[in-house]
Every structure is written in structure tokens, then in C-alpha cells.
Amino acid sequence: MHEFAIVQSMVQELVSRLEGKGIKRVAEVRFRRGSAFSADALRQSFLAASSGTILENSALIIDTENTTFHCACGYTQVITSDDLIGHMFVCPACGAVAEIEEAHDIEVVDVTVEMSDGNSLRAENTLI
């Protein structure tokens, strides 16, 4: 459920930034997520949160950056959401517990919109 709240907040912020700019529809939204943020949760949350907004029916593109755990014991692993208990990861080699601060890393990279005048525009996160 924590992922839903994060995505819902991001969708609300994006909608508020896009409203009133002469946009006919949003064609595509590109997210970048850490490998510890569930791609399925992102898809489901985006679908639910975007319903009834200018983002509804837009294509969702998800890029993934690996979140890698390096334990003091020498064990290394790319972490997925299935490997976590909340924000915590237990090293399978030695049992050490580590908080993974990047567990919920996610950002909007860019948005492609169709303007009311028929033109398409791609805006990066810093411009949205």
C-alpha cells in the first residue's frame, strides 16, 4: 500500500502541473524506478490513480535502475521488491539486516502530450 500512496501523490502532482496548458491528452508517461520498487505495484497504482484524469489511458513506460546491496561480509545482490521486508533486507549469506533507503525510489522522467493544436510535445521532468 505504501507504493500506492507514492504513485497517487506523483499522479496528483503531475495532473496539477499539466492542467490548463492546452493539452488534449497525455500520450505517454515515463517513470524511472529502483529495482526495489515493485513494477507491478507501479502499474496498478498508476492505472487506479490516473483514472478520470488527463493521464487516463496514457502509455506507461517504466525504466529500471538496479538497487544493489553490498554487505560487509562480501555478499552482493541486486535487490527487488520481493527481497524486502518493508525497507529492510536480510543478507542471505550472514543474516545482517540493512535498511535500504532506495527501496521506494521512483521519479517521472518525461511526459509526451498531444496539444489541442494537434502538435505533440515531450517534456522532461524538470520542465513539467
115-121 mean pLDDT: 73
Question: How many angstroms separate the CA atoms of 31 and 104, rounded?
Answer: 13
- pLDDT over threshold 80, residue 128: no
What's the pTM? 0.81
Question: How many angstroms separate the CA atoms of 1 and 80, rounded?
Answer: 16
Question: How many angstroms separate the CA atoms of 54 and 29, rounded?
Answer: 11
The predicted pLDDT at position 25 comes to 86
The predicted pLDDT at position 6 comes to 92
End-to-end CA distance of the chain: 26
Question: How many angstroms separate the CA atoms of 113 and 27, rounded?
Answer: 5
CB contact set of 121 (below 8 Å; sequence gap of 6+) = 112, 113, 115
The per-residue pLDDT for range 14-23, each reduced to its tens digit, is: 999 998 888 8
1-29 mean pLDDT: 89
The per-residue pLDDT for range 56-85, each reduced to its tens digit, is: 999 999 999 999 999 999 999 999 989 999
Q: Does 3.30.2320.50 match the CATH number of domain 2-122?
A: yes
Question: How many angstroms separate the CA atoms of 98 and 12, rounded?
Answer: 32
